[in-house]
């Protein structure tokens, strides 16, 4: 399915998602990088020793969720837009999801936008909480969105 559509299966998503126990401790990165490609900026960007050193440049990244602080450095450095950070402790009803966002214009903080799934289909309205972009560094902007908790594994992008 991934090869034909670019969309991972539920099983693939479950394999890379942290445990409920880890999610309950605060923000953590989820790396949805499913294909062996010559790439490793996620490893070089992480200064928390959370991503295992690559033995071969084509290896899939391996993350130790217990070492990850959810800082998001790897999000902005991943050319594949394959990483997001989920904070399941954001509020009683919502999780905060930090995602890479390369479209323009960037949304505004406080804006309500359309939360989309991995197929680009509408899931629910979500609120933009923070927009982080650097005018001086060539890095991918990071947008934080508040998503109803029941959709934290489903919403992966947004549209306006
Ligand atoms: S979010 Fe921060 S600590 Fe976690 S893997 Fe990415 S760079 Fe490392
Ligand atoms: S930087 Fe992104 S695309 Fe490259 S190996 Fe890491 S997760 Fe995959």
Atom of ligand 1 nearest to the CA of 70: 1
Closest-CA residue, ligand 1 atom 7, reads 46
Query: Of 2 and 18, which is predicted with more confidence?
Result: 18
- Spell out the residues 6+ positions from residue 24 whose beta carbon is closer than 8 angstroms to its own: 88, 89
Mean pLDDT in the chain? 95
Region 76-92: mean pLDDT is 96
The pLDDT tens digits for 122-158 are 999 999 999 999 766 678 999 999 999 999 999 999 9
The residue whose CB lies within 8 Å of the most ligand 1 atoms, and thus the one to mutate among 16, 66, 72, is 72
Neighbours of 115 (CB within 10 A): 23
Distance 73 CA to ligand 2 centre (A): 12
Place 57 in a pLDDT band, splitting at 50, 70 and 90. Answer: very high
Note the ligand closest to the C-alpha atom of 72: 1
The strand pairing partners of 129, in sequence order, are none
pLDDT of residue 137: 62
- 26: phi then psi, degrees, rounded to nearest 5: 125, -170
pLDDT of residue 26: 98
d(CA 77, CA 16): 19
The pLDDT tens digits for 10-45 are 999 999 999 999 999 999 999 999 999 999 999 999
pLDDT of residue 1: 67
The answer on pLDDT for 121 being more than 70 is yes
33 CB less than 6 Å from ligand 1? no
């Amino acid at each position: 399915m991934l090869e034909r559509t670019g969309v991972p299966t539920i099983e693939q998503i479950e394999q890379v998602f942290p445990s409920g126990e880890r999610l309950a401790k605060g923000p953590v990165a989820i790396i949805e990088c499913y294909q062996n490609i010559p790439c490793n900026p996620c490893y070089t960007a992480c200064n928390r020793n959370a991503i295992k050193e690559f033995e071969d440049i084509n290896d899939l990244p391996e993350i130790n969720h217990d070492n990850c602080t959810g800082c998001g450095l790897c999000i902005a450095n991943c050319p594949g837009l394959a990483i997001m950070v989920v904070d399941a402790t954001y509020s009683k009803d919502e999780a905060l999801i930090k995602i890479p966002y390369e479209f323009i214009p960037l949304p505004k903080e406080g804006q309500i936008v359309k939360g989309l799934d991995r197929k680009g289909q509408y899931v629910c309205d979500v609120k933009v909480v923070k927009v982080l972009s650097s005018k001086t560094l060539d890095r991918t902007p990071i947008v934080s969105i508040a998503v109803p908790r029941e959709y934290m594994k489903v919403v992966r992008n947004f549209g306006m």
